[in-house]
């Protein structure tokens, strides 16, 4: 009897062990490491495709699942591996519009996993992060119902996020949440997401190469510590609002994208850094975005732009013998201002057209051909504000060609506003607009937009995006919030923050925007430094001509600051707290520093070890004055000779800044 019981237990054990062995045999594991070996992706192929991300052998993201759910099948469910390929790449990219570097090092190891069912998953491991995407080889069109981007955190992480809906302007303030406290019922999390792992590393999550597909959002996973993806459905029917600005989706599909069956899908990437300075220098989107040959680009000229929206009612003085507002005389005044300072563009904002939905005819007070002619005479190009609805009409009506009409007039570009969505229809509009504008040699700024996904590298006439809580938000635009922008929003691409306030106050002195003049929070040196720190190919000047004319030393500095750069070096950085960055254009260096609403003055000694050679340079610096912590407009100008290896003392009061040029 005992022998029978023993034999039965042995048989049961062998069956269980055999089943476990079979399950283990069905699972396959594969690894990919970064070129320097510090970042590792470990993949397990079983019932699903699961990956874990390590940094210096520390688990950062644990057992993340990825799937692409089509109408009749789910890619990544019970995957059958048919082959794999590895490749190492070490090349250079020379962006046509260099926002951080004129030469970008592109070094990574790639693993491509091919699966039964005509699809693949590509992983790339860089020294500063990881990216992956699906690739499909299906016939005809496919309906994508959902893409599962399922992220799991092995510990409590601190997340810096914006929260909004699928119709977000991406102008919400940043909030700072414990990862376990984000609930599925909370507002969706917008991209990018900055994660402080509290393990000496930070992770920035976003996407690149977004084409014919919706942008993704994230939600909490409930009891499980992590985030999962959410997508807007594809629009089937839209309706313009009576205000002529917005367009609402009134009917949605049951899929998120109907698209070609043979294609690559967007990259999902994770920038991994040990130092916050690495976030400032990141070029991940550039490395993942397609660098297409689009023909002659000599006409694409990034630059500063005078701008009337915030300050169009702020003009006064003996040279101002005309009514403020939207009229021909006012715009000629702005053109004269731009010409005095060699500012290449004037952006004419909302109000010039009779019909926002079909912006061809101007209001009686605006003689647009004359304004364009006058600008050309003064070497100032005109960029027009238009609505998404007004541009979309161009693609839907053969008798109406807004690009052709205004390019023939001599207009240099469009500031396209009020897209306010991230669904497949809007993503496709971005590409159509960029492509059509390129055809007619017109520049584009995308306002009322989502954050950049790399379109500016495919179509370099796209010089900037909004998707940021910028100066238009008045007193709601504070240094405490803006100190996250270089570490998050600007990592993804250029942003239209619209800096440049010459009238500045500390937050307790802000009067709620009741003044007819443009007043902003932060010291004078802080606002000057933003021109160095915040990247945009069309950097708009927010304050009025009068204010800049009355501050000639600040004007000379600001209007000589480049908008593209050959080299970027973050010197000291703590996300949300402070930042000092050095940037080079040609043989000159600019240094910008800002800090938040700290209780104490911050002081740093920075070493000029980035200067070449043994020669002597001239430094001109704008510094917070002794009273700037209460009188924000107090500043000093320091001039001195410096050389390579010298140390410079930088002192910034609360909401303060520091800006310098070395030549």
Please identify every residue annotated as catalytic: 417, 472
CB-based burial, 145-176: b 16+ in 10 Å, e otherwise? bbbbbbbbbbeebebbbbbbebebbbbbebee
Residue 126, beta-bridge partner list: 108, 129
Residues 6 or more apart whose CB falls under 8 angstroms from that of 298 comprise none
The DSSP output letter for 529 is: H
Residues 6 or more apart whose CB falls under 8 angstroms from that of 113 comprise 30, 43, 45, 49, 81, 83, 84, 120, 121, 122, 123
- Other beta carbons less than 10 A from residue 82's beta carbon: 12
- Other beta carbons less than 10 A from residue 439's beta carbon: 14
CB-count burial class (<10 Å; 0-12, 13-18, 19+) for 620: middle
Provide the pairing of β-strand 257-264 with 503-505: unpaired
The DSSP output letter for 353 is: B
Nearest alpha-carbon partner for 64 in 288, 221, 273: 221
Handedness of CA 573, 575, 577, 579 (dihedral sign): positive
3-state secondary structure of 408: helix
Alpha-carbon gap, residue 2 to 9, rounded angstroms: 11
Alpha-carbon gap, residue 453 to 441, rounded angstroms: 22
Nearest alpha-carbon partner for 633 in 536, 522, 509, 540: 522
- Residue pair 121/82 in contact by the 8 Å Cβ criterion: no
């Amino acid at each position: 009897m005992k022998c029978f019981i023993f034999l039965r237990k042995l048989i049961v054990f062998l069956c269980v062990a055999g089943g476990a062995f079979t399950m283990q045999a069905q699972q396959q594991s594969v690894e990919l490491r970064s070129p320097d070996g510090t970042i590792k992706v470990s993949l397990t192929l079983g019932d699903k495709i699961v990956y874990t991300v390590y940094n210096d052998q520390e688990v950062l993201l644990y057992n993340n699942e990825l799937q692409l759910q089509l109408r009749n099948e789910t890619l990544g469910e019970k995957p059958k591996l048919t082959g794999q390929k590895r490749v190492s790449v070490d090349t250079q990219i020379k962006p046509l519009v260099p926002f951080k570097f004129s030469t970008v090092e592109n070094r990574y190891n790639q693993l491509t996993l091919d699966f039964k069912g005509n699809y693949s998953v590509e992983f790339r491991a860089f020294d500063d992060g990881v990216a992956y995407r699906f690739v499909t080889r299906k016939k005809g069109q496919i309906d994508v119902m959902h893409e599962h981007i399922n992220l799991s955190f092995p510990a409590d992480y601190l997340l810096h996020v914006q929260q909004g809906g699928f119709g977000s302007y991406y102008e919400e303030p940043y909030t700072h949440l414990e990862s376990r406290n984000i609930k599925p019922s909370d507002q969706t999390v917008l991209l990018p997401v900055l994660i402080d792992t509290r393990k000496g590393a930070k992770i920035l999550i976003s996407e690149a190469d977004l084409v014919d597909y919706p942008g993704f959002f994230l939600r909490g996973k409930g009891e499980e510590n992590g985030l999962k993806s959410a997508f807007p459905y594809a629009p089937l029917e839209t309706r313009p609002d009576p205000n002529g600005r917005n367009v609402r989706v009134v009917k949605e599909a049951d899929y998120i994208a109907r698209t070609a069956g043979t294609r690559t899908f967007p990259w999902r990437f994770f920038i991994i850094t040990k130092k916050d300075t690495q976030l400032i220098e990141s070029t991940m989107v550039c490395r993942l975005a397609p660098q297409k040959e689009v023909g002659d680009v000599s006409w694409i000229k990034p630059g500063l732009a005078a701008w009337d929206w915030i300050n169009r009612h702020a003009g006064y003085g003996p040279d101002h013998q005309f009514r403020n507002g939207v009229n021909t005389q006012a715009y000629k005044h702005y053109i004269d201002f731009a010409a005095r300072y060699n500012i290449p563009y004037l952006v004419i904002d909302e109000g010039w057209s009779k019909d926002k939905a079909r912006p061809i005819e101007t209001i009686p007070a605006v003689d647009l051909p004359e304004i364009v002619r006058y600008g050309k005479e003064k070497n100032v190009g005109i960029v027009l504000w238009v609505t998404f609805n007004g541009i979309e009409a161009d693609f839907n009506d053969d008798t109406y060609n807004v690009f052709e009409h205004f390019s023939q007039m001599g207009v240099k570009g469009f500031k396209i506003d009020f897209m306010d969505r991230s669904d497949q229809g809007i993503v496709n509009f971005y590409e159509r607009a960029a492509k059509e504008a390129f055809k007619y040699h017109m520049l584009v700024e995308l306002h009322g937009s989502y954050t950049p996904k790399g379109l500016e590298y495919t179509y370099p006439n796209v010089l900037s995006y909004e998707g940021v809580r910028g100066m238009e938000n008045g007193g709601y635009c504070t240094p405490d919030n803006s100190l996250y922008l270089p570490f998050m929003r600007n990592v993804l691409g250029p942003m239209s923050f619209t800096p440049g306030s010459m009238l500045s106050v500390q937050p307790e002195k802000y009067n709620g925007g009741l003044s007819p003049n443009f007043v902003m929070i932060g010291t004078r040196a802080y606002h000057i430094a933003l021109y160095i720190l915040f990247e945009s190919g069309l950097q708009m000047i927010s304050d009025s001509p009068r204010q800049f004319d009355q501050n000639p030393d600040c004007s000379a500095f600001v209007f000589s600051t480049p908008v593209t750069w050959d080299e970027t070096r973050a010197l000291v950085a703590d996300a949300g707290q402070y930042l000092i960055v050095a940037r080079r254009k040609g043989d000159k260096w600019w240094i910008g520093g800002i800090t938040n609403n700290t209780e104490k003055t911050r002081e740093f000694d920075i070493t000029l070890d980035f200067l070449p050679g043994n020669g002597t340079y001239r430094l001109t610096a704008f510094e917070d004055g002794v009273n700037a912590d209460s009188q924000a407009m107090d500043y000093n100008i320091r001039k001195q000779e410096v050389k390579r290896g010298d140390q410079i003392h930088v002192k910034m009061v609360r909401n303060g800044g520091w800006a310098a040029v070395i030549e």
